[in-house]
Structure 1
Amino acid sequence: MTKGQKNAACTLALYALVVVMLRFSSVEEWDTALLIALVVTPLALWMGWLRRRMNEQAAEWGRRRFRPWPEERRR
């Protein structure tokens, strides 16, 4: 399975999960749940991407830090 196919499958699975959760956790009808999931799914994917990117940048910033942390300077 290529990376694009894997991403598409994960996106579809997330969409289906959101639709089912919205349909059975509240009094939403199927059409309303489908429409809300169209908004929620890209938002959830973007939030996951943003979290991953921030963690990568934080790790990179930690590697580039040239001064020791204050706790390490006291030793």
Structure 2
Amino acid sequence: MTKWQKNAAYALAVYALMVAVFRYSSGGQGWGTALLLALVTTPLALWMGWLRSRLNEQAAEWGRRRFRPWPEERRR
């Protein structure tokens, strides 16, 4: 699978999961409302996942570039 196909499959799976969550939650939304709510929340969930991975990458890079030792590693 190409990267585009993987991303599309992942987005479709998240959308289907969101529809099921909204449809069968304790509030019991109708199918139309569940489909619309999932359409709104899926891009938000995908963006939050991307943001988390991006922040983790930046934190790892910052940890590699740190020039001062951590306080626990300092000898007094």
RMSD: 1.0
By how many angstroms is 1:74 displaced?
2.5
1:18-33 correspondence to structure 2 within 5 Å: 18-25=18-25, 26-33=27-34
The runs of at least 4 consecutive aligned structure 1 residues that moved more than 4 Å come to none
User: TM-score, with normalisation over the residues of structure 2?
Assistant: 0.94
Structure 1: 5+ residue runs without aligned partners?
Answer: none
Q: Deviations over 1:7-66 (max 9, x none)?
A: 001100110110011101122000000010011100000000000000000000000000
Query: How many aligned positions are there?
Result: 75
Q: Name the residue aligned to 1:65.
A: 66
- Of all paired residues, the percent bearing the same amino acid is 76
